[in-house]
Amino acid sequence: MTTRIVLGVSMVILLCVISQKFSYKLGVPALIFFMFVGMLFGTDGLMKIEYEDFSSAETICSIALIFIMFEGGFNTSWKSARKIIGKAVALSTVGVLLTAIITTACLHFFLHLSLAEAFLVSSVLASTDAASVFSILKSNNLDLKENTSPILEVESGSNDPMAYLLTVTAIGIMKTGQAGNVVVSIIIQLLVGFLAGNLFAKLAKYILSLKNIVADGLDTIFIVSMTMLCYAVTDMLRGNAYLSVYLLGLYLGNTHINAKRAIIAFFSDLTSLLQMLIFFIIGLLSTPSGIPASIPMAVGVILILTFVSRPLMSVILLMPMKCSFRQCMLISWAGLRGASSIVFAITAVSSGIHLSMDLFHVVFLVSLFSIAIQGALLPVVSKKLDMIDEQPNVFKTFNDYDLEVDFQFTKLHIGKDSAWAGKKIKEIKMPFGSQAVMIKRDGKSIAARGRNVIMEGDDLIMNIPAYTPSDKERVTEITIGKESEWANKKVEELGIPENQLIIQLQRDDQKIIPNGDTLIKPDDVLLIYQGE
């Protein structure tokens, strides 16, 4: 029995991995292939596996969403997101609520669903899917004007907690038949989730900063356990557990912690595997022979979401925030539904509430349309709206490659005393193995050629060979208190051991590369390299 299970799991994973390659060549999102692999194994497929246990599927998919939500926060750059955070947060909170309200009204009046059932369907489908949005943008190398790409990424990565909260509220209404004090319940769940997420984030950061608590190489396992503990405790306190793990990831991802590159790589691979698992289970649960009966309802929901709810919400919410109409329309079209909506549908079905429709297959068809049609047409719609940025942000592109190849990028500012100022790139003796890639001058990016002259005030972007520290090397972070013996002393006066070096000093919003004359002040945050 064990051998058959291991054989089956290995076959599924291999098929999913291989199908991802085909998806890139055919221009179809890989998530759809994972779904079809599940259907291939399902009741109407070749393997004829009868799997109708929505309760176990809900448990598995909910656990998978914990880490997908954490990674969404962990990979969000607060520095980059700060410019658009107001719009993105508005979309992921008020936008989700507005979408649910508008969709509820339309489903009630046009498709004649009861208000409670219409609210449940609307809540389940109110959020956009991060995996789908990221996949479409990256596979098509799309960078959008007016900072639209980061708005979509932050929105899709952070709106599941609100949709989950609405879904749970809708299930409660369906069970009891009463709305109760919904507003108070929502506020309490959000507040508990917010407080718990921040508390666990600071606790995790504190433990990681202590020496000899977390053994070298076990940082990733520690974060996995803290993520699960954060979710469980928040849920026990009746808070929004998905919000708490998202905030935990956001805090740790924007804080200096050891082995960060390894942690990013681990969670990237883990969430890829979990997304395969979710969409495989979705395919396994589906019954193709029963899908036709759900098509009329699904088509109605698709038309309302695509051409009424999402566009109206985008205009109402974003136009007052000085977004152009074309940006509102693109954000509207990019509201792709996916894994989270189907997981919430599984949660609703497994709760045992009575429904007049096959909710799972309706949401299944809506998500399938959204990923396959909306996602495929996103580049075309972006071009029609003239929203494609032909000169994408070079740093964003560099960050995408930084974890995949054996090089990294660094910025070198050319001051007035620099020996490189006034020289052509080909005249400069670069360090062995390094390369000048880009010149940043007066807000413009210039590809570095041998004939280009480097000028005072330029920022030279260089490609240098990556270095992976040994287990005995580490970077630690310390904050200088008012009573610290290092406070108000120059670096050269500190008596630092020969195998240690202060590699960066953070003061307010400034990051300073120190030298011997740099004065250490209270509240400075120092990054200290310690060699073997």
Q: 82: buried, middle or exposed (CB in 10 Å: 19+, 13-18, 0-12)?
A: exposed
Bridge partners of 439, per DSSP, are 446, 460
The stretch 318-334 carries a mean pLDDT of: 92
**Which of residues 483 and 465 earns the better pLDDT score?**
483
Q: What is the pLDDT of residues 270-299, one digit of tens each?
A: 888 888 888 888 888 888 877 889 999 999
Which pair of tokens denotes residue 12?
């599924």
Bridge partners of 506, per DSSP, are 511, 525
Residue 509 confidence (pLDDT) above 70 = no
Q: What is the pLDDT of residues 377-392, one digit of tens each?
A: 888 898 899 888 765 5
Count CB neighbours of 499 within 10 A: 11
Residue 51 confidence (pLDDT) above 70 = yes
CA distances from residue 75 to 63, 154, 314 in whole angstroms, order as listed: 19, 10, 25
pLDDT confidence band for 7 (50 / 70 / 90): confident
Residue 398 confidence (pLDDT) above 50 = no
The stretch 62-80 carries a mean pLDDT of: 83
What is the enclosing helix (H) or strand (E) of 70?
helix 54-74
Reference 380, options 46, 136, 61, 126; nearest CA is 136
pLDDT confidence band for 101 (50 / 70 / 90): very high
The per-residue pLDDT for 289 is 79
Place of tokens 């310390």: 478
The per-residue pLDDT for 468 is 61
Q: Are 224 and 478 in contact (CB under 8 A)?
A: no
Count CB neighbours of 74 within 10 A: 26
pTM of model > 0.85: no
Q: Distance (Å, rounded) from C-alpha 153 to C-alpha 114? A: 34
Q: What is the pLDDT of residues 156-165, one digit of tens each?
A: 878 888 898 8
Q: How much is the mean pLDDT over the chain?
A: 82
The stretch 246-254 carries a mean pLDDT of: 89
Reference 298, options 246, 342, 242, 347; nearest CA is 342
Query: CA geometry: angle at 120 spanning 119 and 122, to 5°?
Result: 65
Most confident of 223-237, 335-349, 499-513: 223-237
The stretch 136-143 carries a mean pLDDT of: 68
Residue 405 confidence (pLDDT) above 70 = no
The per-residue pLDDT for 390 is 63
302 Rama class: left (phi>0) / alpha (psi -120 to 50) / beta: alpha
Q: Are 268 and 253 in contact (CB under 8 A)?
A: no
**Which of residues 431 and 308 earns the better pLDDT score?**
308
Residue 402 confidence (pLDDT) above 70 = no
Helix residue spans in 286-374 (DSSP H): 295-304, 310-318, 325-333, 339-350, 359-369
Q: Are 423 and 453 in contact (CB under 8 A)?
A: yes
CA distances from residue 62 to 24, 97, 128, 243, 487 in whole angstroms, order as listed: 28, 22, 17, 13, 48
Q: Which domains does the chain have, with CATH numbers?
A: 60-259+290-384 (1.20.1530.20), 405-465 (3.30.70.1450), 474-530 (3.30.70.1450)
The stretch 207-215 carries a mean pLDDT of: 76
Distant-in-sequence, close-in-space partners of 286: CB < 8 Å, separation ≥ 6: 35, 38, 39, 42, 360, 361, 364
Q: Distance (Å, rounded) from C-alpha 448 to C-alpha 456? A: 15
Count CB neighbours of 136 within 10 A: 21
Q: In the Cβ-directed half-sphere of 339, how many Cα atoms lie within 13 Å? A: 34
Place of tokens 């291939």: 40
pLDDT confidence band for 25 (50 / 70 / 90): low
Place of tokens 């051991």: 497
The stretch 33-37 carries a mean pLDDT of: 76
Q: What is the pLDDT of residues 167-195, one digit of tens each?
A: 988 998 888 766 666 677 778 888 999 99
Which pair of tokens denotes residue 508?
């307010």
Supply φ then ψ for residue 436, to 5 degrees: -80, 130
The per-residue pLDDT for 416 is 75
Query: CA geometry: angle at 475 spanning 470 and 478, to 5°?
Result: 160
The per-residue pLDDT for 404 is 44
Q: Are 333 and 305 in contact (CB under 8 A)?
A: no
Dihedral sign from CA coordinates of 424, 430, 435, 440 = negative
The per-residue pLDDT for 197 is 93
The per-residue pLDDT for 399 is 42
Q: What is the dihedral of CA 272, 274, 279, 284, to 10 degrees?
A: 140
Q: Distance (Å, rounded) from C-alpha 186 to C-alpha 170? A: 11
The stretch 207-222 carries a mean pLDDT of: 78
Q: Distance (Å, rounded) from C-alpha 235 to C-alpha 142? A: 37
